[in-house]
Every structure is written in C-alpha cells, then in structure tokens.
Structure 1
C-alpha cells in the first residue's frame, strides 16, 4: 500500500470527545484523532499495533473501522481496562440482571449506613449523605452534603454540619468488622506513594474509612459470585472505577489523582459507596452506556485470538501483557501501522498510581523492573529510560512492514526527555517525516494551572524505510553549527509575525519542532564504542525554563505575566 503523505494538519476537536470512556486512565488520546490516523494510514483488514495501549483507544478505533488490533501494555491494569473497553458485543441484558441481583441484596443495607437522623425538610422522606467532608483539618465539625431519597429537585439537596447523633452513628458503623476480604497490601516506596506514607497511610485499606471498606467488601464479594467471566470483568471495571472516588484522595474541589499523584488532602471527603458504584454502572460514562456504544460501533467484528496466527486466519483482536522491549509474540514485518503514546519520562508513574486498583483486583505487581520510566526510587535515570525506550522502538521497528508508518504522540516540557525519544527512534532506524501539534482531549490539572506546561501534544510521524539505513557518522563537525538561542528567538519571531502575542508554551512548542527537524537528520553510529552514539540530541537539549531565560534577554520582546500564564509580544518601545 502506498501512502503519498502523512497527515499534516491538526484534527478538529469534537464535542463527543469522551465516547466509550468507562474508566479513569492517564494520557488518553481523543478517539477522533486516533480514528483519523488509522483511516489515513491503513485499509480495512490491516493490522494496527499499540505497544503502550493504556485505556485502549487505539484498539477500539481499529476495530470500529474494521482493522485488526494488537494492543499491549506492561501494566496489567491497562490491559484489563483496554480489553474490556474493546470487547464486543456484550450481553447488556445479562449484565443488568447481575447488577439487579447485587442491588436487591445490598443497596438497602449499604444505604442505611449513610442515612441521616433528620428527614428531608421538603417532604419528610429519609435523607442520605452523598458525601461527608471529614478531613482532619475540620476536627469534629464535619459537613454533610445530603440528598432526599425521593430525588426531587434542588430543594432535595441539603448541606449542613453533621449532627452529634449522626457522627455517633458513623462511629457505631465503624466499630463493625469488615465482613469480607479487602486488600491490605503495603504501598511500595516511590515518588508518589511517599506522599501517602508521610500522611500516615501505609497500606491500601488505610485509604478508606471503615464504613466505606465495609461497603466495598460487600460489593466486591457479590461480584465474585458472577459465573459469566465477561460480565464479572465488566462489573469489576465499574467497581475499580469506583475506588478512587470513595477513597481519602478526593476533595470537593479536586478529583482524585488529577495531578497524577497520590495526594491526600486535609479536607478529604467520604463518598457514599453505593451511589458511586451505581453511578459507575449506569451513568452516561458508566459501563452500560460505554458498552452500548461499543456494541453499536464494533458489533460482532471483535474476535479475540491468543496468538498472532489467529489474526491471519479470521480473528481481529489480540491483547498482550508484556514489556514493549520484547514483542516476541509478534512476527517480523507483520504490522501495517503503529499508533502509540509511550511514557513521557517520569511525568506519570503508572506502576505506583495503579497500585490501588491492582491490589483490589488481585493483579501482579512483579513488573516494576521492566517499566520504562524515570524514577529515583527505582534507580532509573534518563539514561536507563532512553536505553529501555530504544529497546522498545527497535522491537516496534522489527515488527513493522517496510515502508509503513508509525505515529507517536508525545508531551514533555524537558527536551532531555525528548532527546531520549528521538535517539531511540533514530537508533531503531525510523525516518521522521513530519510533526503535527494536536490539542488534547482535556487539560490535566498541571496543564490547567501551570504557565510552563505544554498545552498540546505533538504527533510525530515516522516511516520504516524500505531499505536499511546507514548509521555511521560522516560529519561530526556539523553539530557545532547549532545555536539553540537562535532557534528559540527565530521560533518566537516567526510565531509573533502571525499573532499579536505568544505564550511561553507556544514558543517552546515551536522551538521543539524546529529543533527536532534540525537534529533528527544527523547521522548516528550504532557501534558500542562510538563516542557520538548517545550525544546527537542530548548536547543540544533544552527545557522551557531555558526558553524563558533566552526570551527575557531579547530586547525586542516584552514579557507579560497574566494569571498563571507567561506571554511575550513585540516591544513597541524598541
């Protein structure tokens, strides 16, 4: 198949950007962007690979557009979410029947644990707490957000201090034993988990109040009784997506782990477990609605195989749970297209942040050595990150057909991490063709408040050459010509020639693109003793702070601080 040119435009945003989203996971890419790339680079029936599959958007879009999908992730939680997202069709009648069984058996007893002493002032019906603000900063002055059991309008929403007898009732409930199994795994030492340990939370069960542990153990116990494996897994998907919300990681103003961190606030809230679980089953982003969408979009095209030969004989979907550095289950030159979102250095600590979910779902934690990240607690610096990433992209190169395309979406404010990615791709033999800035599906907590974080991802389109490339350096002196200050200033001037002002992140993004286009063509040497082997990109790497420093010294530019942002414009006084 011959593709004349890669995509060279940003895919327009869509309002329905979160379709079939059933579980929180980080760095999910907009489905409409993934769909556009898959349709552009492949034909129906061809095989699409995502070696870092995350929540499974690439797998889903491949199936929706009648391509075959191979998804892989080292983290078993990602494979669990992605596999359940892609599965189709699902017997939603059977799923609903199993949920009703749980509801009939448990709802009344669990809701009674959240019942308040005073009835609804509007109609006299029982009131139940939606959540209680009971963090340690409040001492004994807990606040309850209540809802009327009859569910009528805003008048059924009550907010007040918890009454002494209601607090005493909670203490009575929490004097009970947890009736069934709950995980008591000790959190490993880590960059993010140390925040919990400093707050006195050392084990998974300590992230929950005793009342919520009781409720969770009851629901989990009933889910385990479901005989149909597919239905049981989907119910566990709803259950695991309940956990963060009913933990001590949530406040009234901050969603849990929205800052990609285990952050236990002083004003954390205790949510009603049954309300949240039922929400994750039936809400418009719940499992039922999500599977209605995939049933409609994928239908019976989903046909899973345990081995690659199955894809060549009528099957359409294969999932792997292995390291991207060793894709031995995939034959040489068998993949038609790869779209992937590799780790962004150490910005998201997937092993640590999914530990809570994996503990509840009794998944393995024995994959940390192979995680591609930057993490001092794991003894992984930028050089080991680059080494492992290079191994992964050499494997991706191996399994791709010659002449076919690889799209990488990436985001980092430090070009040392960009350098690691670029070196990995170039060592593998991939040829870069173009770079496309793309708006994300939604801004993360850090992107929202930080003026020095990138607001857009960059999609880098590479091609595997039809013939082997030569990597020996033939002009080492060419590296001496690169002036990073000049690249930054030219990027700013070019942007400001078309716009009245430029944010610092917009200039950084433009400078990164210009830098990649200049340095990626430098020849490199694969010989182990070559002094230039790892230096092509690293010695020119820069970060967003350096961009700001260069622009501040430029007399033709005026620096402006506005809210949380930093902007530059032409200095008219000069």
Structure 2
C-alpha cells in the first residue's frame, strides 16, 4: 500500500528545508485522496471563505479563510483537510483550531476535519478534542482500512425521508439477514387489543404493543436476545417473549420492574383464584368501615407514612393522598395478601393491589358521564398529585374483583409463551441504562427502547405512591442516575444529555455487529434529536432512517397542552456496522430560517393544513436527511411562537394553515426549491434501493411546491438533469457530486 500510494517516496526528504507545505500537498496528500476514491470534481482546492465574525480596517474589509482541501460527496462538503509543513504540530494547538474553524464555517459544516504534515496524519470530529485517528504516514498501510471507513466517499450517507404510507406485508422466504432488514413505515395502532398490556396496570407512558411486536419481528429472529434499557411498562420484554426471543427488561424505577416481574411470574390459574378467594375472605372478615374499626386497622397494619411528595403536589405527605378509611382498607388488604405463602401468587395479588391504588385515593376522579370506576388518578392525567375537587370513592372489594379478572386475562394470554419452561429467558433488572456491565460486549441482538423525554415526566417522583405502598426502595443514587431534566433534584439539561449519551454508549457496547437499535423519541426540541444522532455516530452507530409513528388515541395531556405535548413520535433506527456511514450536511444554498419556513409551508400545502406533529416530524427528518439539525436546534427549539405568528390555527381540527388572504411567505428561487425536494426524494429512493420514474418524481414533489409559481414539468426535468442521471427507465442521483445552481 505504501508504494502504491507514494511510488517509493523517500521519507527522509521530509528533513530537507526545501520540502515545505506545498510539497506535502502535491506529493503526499493528493495520492491519498485519489486512493480514497475522490475524483477531481470532488476535490475543492483553496476555496475562499468569508470569516463570519472578523473584519479589519476602517473600510471593514472582510477576513478570508482558505482551507487547502474541501472534499465533496453529492455536492456537500464531507470533510476538510489542511496541509502543514513537516515541522508543524498537527495533534493539538493553533493548527488544529484553525482547521476546526473551517469545518464549522456556515458554508461548510463538515463533521470531520484532518491535518497532514507529511510525517503524520490526524483526523478529528467536531465534537472530540483529541484525534479519533492519528498515525505516522509511513505506517499508513496499517491504518488504511480505518481511514477509508471514516473518509471514503462511500462512508457518507443521507437519511431516510419520511413516507406517510401504510406498510405492506412482506412474506420472507429467503434466509434471515440482519443487514438486509428494511425500515418499517407507520403501523396502524392496536393499543387495546392485547389483554397482557391493556387494563393490567396503569403507567405513565406505554408503547403500542403491536408496533413493538412488528419491530422485534422485523429486526430479529427467534432465540435472539432483545434489550430494553428504559423498560418502562415492559411492552418490549413481553412482546420479545411472545415472539420466542430472549429478553432483558431494565429500568431504574422499581415500580417498573415490579410490574413486569409480577405479570410474567408463572402461576397456576386455579391456584391463584383460590389464593384470591382466601385473601378476599380474610379481608371481608376484618374490613374497616366504622370509625372504631378504621382506627384499629391503622394501629395494627402498616401503611406508608411521611414520604414527602414532589413539589407541585397539593399535599406534602403521602398519607394525605388518602382518606382515613382508604388508608385502613388498603393496609388491611395488603396485610391479607402478605399472608399468602406462594411467592408468585403473592406477587400476582400485589399486582392487583397496586392496580387498585390508581382508584383508591383522593386524586381519583370519575370521568364525566361515566360510572365511578371509569376515571383516572391525577398523577397519570396531569403528571402531578392533584387532589380531585370531588373525589370518586369506589368500593374496594368490587374493584379488587375486577383486578383479578384483568390479571387472569393477561396471565392466560401470555401462558403459551411465558411460563415455567421459558421464564429463564427473561431477565427483569432494576438498574440504570448508563451501566450495562452485567452484559458482555456484543451479546445483544436487538435494542428497542423508549427513553425519558427531558423534563416531560419525572418517573421516580411520580411513582412515590406505588413504590411506598409496595415497599420498593428508591435510593439517592437512583435519583442521581435518572435521565430526566428538572424534577425534585432539579437536574439540568446538561445532566440529562450526559446520562442519555452514556446510555447510548453502553447500548453500542453490548449490541452485536450487524444488528439494529430502534430509538423512540417524542420530544419536540431538535436539540435532543441532535444529541442522539451525534452521540450515536460518535459511538460508531450508522443512522439508517427515521419513521413517524402515531401512538393511537390523543392523550388527556395532549388535549390540555396541544403545543407542548406531541401525540406521535419518531422511531429512529441505527445499525452497528464495522464501517459506518455518517450523515453528511448538504449544501442547500439557503439559511436555516428559509429551510424551516419552506418545509413548514410545504407540509401545509401537501396536506391542505398540517398538525404540529406533521410539521415537527417533517422538520426533524429533513434536518436529519439534509444535515441542518444542528442549525435547527440553535434557532428553532420551540416552533410554537413562529407557527402561531405566521399561520392560522383551527382549535377543532388542530390544523395549521396559511393565513386567510395571505400567500406563502418564502420566496426562494424556483429552481432551488425544486432542487431541494428533488435531492430529498431521490435520496429516499436511493436508500430504499429504488429507481424513480419521472412521472413518479413529479407527482411526489409537486404538492410541496405550491408556494410561489408552480413549476412546469420541463423545469423539474432541467434541474433533474443537472443533479441526476438516467438509470434504465428512471433516475438516480449523480454519484460524483451535483452541479451547483446559479441563484
């Protein structure tokens, strides 16, 4: 390799005073670029860049920056390379800072930058202070595979654009291939059709079981190990077991691990029913209903006292969430359950008891127009302990009976797949996603996880009532490790970011190569998406595409806060491969504001009115796909003020539309708009390994171009010919870069 690159070059020449920076460029750097696969049209030499901040002199002359090499892939700058003289330091200091300034320039925005002084080669990522690759040039053969994996044109990719279509059922007949798995598109939700999840026990968030089921089925096969390090309500683990996979359910909240352990512990149905009858009979003999028996029960039986509730609660201490009668009855029932000798029966009965806590407290309110049992606890509705104006007092015995039926239905449904013979394939662990040390590296086959969303839900704070009644300890260390923003411990955004980043690093470590991770997120702040992408790529994950996925019914929280709660989510998919491709930032020729407004108006035009979720989804995925997510996070972390200012909003339909008698505001050059959407569409076709026909292209992008003058097909064709080439009966993006439009 050394001779192939440098044709017997004598490295002793580097000691000569005549061998300077220009010699490094011509003799050593150009052969490296050529061997990496860059053609002359992809190598931009000595491009002048206006310094975004500095001007000098009374006439304010601009200061220019001139990087030696800009390397292009698909008309976007993939990385920057600067040559230095052999005696220059390229590991740290001012030289590194200089090239870093080129990489972050608004016209460049490249993820990678490199320096070469003839003796050594150093490669940096924008987010790493130390080189990610550093070697002596004479030893380049030993580092070539790694260098090529980072910097060859094929190492860069763009994301999958959003498609709003129903997935097609595919019957797989060929042998299962992990790397050939295709992305799923949006899946119709069947939230209430699985008794194993619906009705057993409330939780703050739940993934739709059939969506999780389809993802596990698509990205893994029977016998594989599936991990959910933010296990929550346990949908991932249960569905993995139902599909004959092995499963690990991990969560910091002991309430979460109790629920899954109690649901999945094997029991005999008849034996559990007998156990229930004994408990109910014992309870009825001692049921406290009078002042005297209530006082006696409160003295005799243990109940949680003096647990401090989170700030914002209507009362300070846990016992104030209940009437004296409720405390006495719950304490009596729990004592009766504790007398059962069979551990799994006892766990199952405590699961029924825990489900009762949602109804037997002073925050519980019946839904208007429904029976007393059809309501909710405020902690699930408002994410705080709010006393009901008129608490609904329900009969404990009646709803304990209904809990039995719910749990039995769930147990019957899972019995064929989760039983005494298979339970060893399930691990339920109370712990943190930041430390998966109980797993060896590269032992997990698939990860599907739904992490906490910033300050949306402080799980440990809100679980106090259940953890206290169930005697589940929560330590100070647990609170420190909880990946949230805010909460009782007033954790900062930086704390949250660091914990999520560490969790992704651990997920990368334990996942096998050529396997997938699906990361669910429903946050409207693009900064969190940027964090996920940057962290995942830094670890070595390859972004494979994001898909919009609805959750089903609009939540109460969404109805109360339509602009701060998203009813849908995005599922972002990564692969762990040995030579990952990196998302490259496209040169679009317009600033972030134009891109944002252009995209919003395009979505509104496409759907004749768009929801906040549709706008947010499109912007996030466009940001991923074309690489402007970093700009989006800086300038548009909250779209609500912009949307309400520039567009009409219909409270009934929840749709944004162009203001009455107003035209679209963006006046971007027609050809540039066409180019923007053509690149997006053709890149999606490329990832899906499809070739697009011209009429399909026109039908796909025409609805997005209604602002301004609608283009003729000939206009679309002329731009298409500039950025793509014919491939059979269709079109594909040029592989060696696209011509820049004069605008």
TM-score (norm 1): 0.76
Q: Quick one: distance in 2 between partners of 1:323 and 1:281?
A: 32
How far apart are 1:342 and its partner, in Å?
A: 0.6
Change (3 A) 1:59 1:540: same
How far apart are 1:14 and its partner, in Å?
A: 2.4
Contact 1:8 1:434 in 2 (8 A): no
Any idea what SS the aligned residue of 2:274 has?
Answer: helix
Change (3 A) 1:547 1:399: farther
Tell me which residue corresponds to 2:652: 563
Pick aligned residue for 1:83 from 261, 267, 284 = 261
Contact 2:453 2:522 in 1 (8 A): yes
Pick aligned residue for 1:183 from 304, 319, 325 = 304
Structure 2 stretches lacking a partner, 5+ long: 1-176, 368-374, 664-743
Change (3 A) 1:18 1:371: same
Within 5 Å, which residues of 2 pair with 1:15-26? 16-21=192-197, 22-26=200-204
Pick aligned residue for 1:407 from 503, 507, 518 = 518
Contact 1:504 1:568 in 2 (8 A): no
How far apart are 1:108 and its partner, in Å?
A: 5.9
Deviations 1:3-48 (A, max 9, x none): 3243231112226444312111122111110110111111111111
Tell me which residue corresponds to 1:259: 382
Deviations 1:486-513 (A, max 9, x none): 2332323332343222123321222122
Q: Quick one: distance in 2 between partners of 1:356 and 1:317?
A: 27
Any idea what SS the aligned residue of 2:382 has?
Answer: coil
Within 5 Å, which residues of 2 pair with 1:373-388? 373-375=484-486, 377-388=488-499
TM-score (norm 2): 0.60
Tell me which residue corresponds to 1:273: 396
Contact 2:228 2:236 in 1 (8 A): yes
Contact 1:185 1:359 in 2 (8 A): no
Change (3 A) 1:368 1:69: same
Pick aligned residue for 1:99 from 245, 258, 276 = 276
Q: Quick one: distance in 2 between partners of 1:90 and 1:360?
A: 23
Tell me which residue corresponds to 1:503: 611
Q: Quick one: distance in 1 between partners of 2:635 and 2:574?
A: 22
Tell me which residue corresponds to 1:119: none
Q: Quick one: distance in 2 between partners of 1:537 and 1:389?
A: 20
Deviations 1:155-190 (A, max 9, x none): xxxxxxxxxxxxxxx6666555513110113215xx
Change (3 A) 1:444 1:287: same
How far apart are 1:99 and its partner, in Å?
A: 0.5
Q: Quick one: distance in 2 between partners of 1:108 and 1:226?
A: 16
Q: Quick one: distance in 2 between partners of 1:469 and 1:505?
A: 29
Q: Quick one: distance in 2 between partners of 1:463 and 1:489?
A: 32
Tell me which residue corresponds to 1:365: 474
Residue 56 in structure 1 maps to residue 234 in structure 2 = yes
Pick aligned residue for 1:514 from 618, 622, 635 = 622
Q: Which stretch shifts more, 73-82 or 332-341?
A: 73-82
Residue 327 in structure 1 maps to residue 436 in structure 2 = yes
Q: Quick one: distance in 2 between partners of 1:482 and 1:333?
A: 43
Residue 544 in structure 1 maps to residue 639 in structure 2 = yes
Within 5 Å, which residues of 2 pair with 1:460-475? 460-467=572-579
Structure 1 stretches lacking a partner, 5+ long: 114-169, 305-315, 523-534
Contact 1:17 1:441 in 2 (8 A): no
CA RMSD of aligned residues (A): 2.7
Contact 1:503 1:567 in 2 (8 A): yes
Contact 1:6 1:433 in 2 (8 A): no
Tell me which residue corresponds to 1:235: 349
Deviations 1:465-484 (A, max 9, x none): 2237799xx99xx8997733
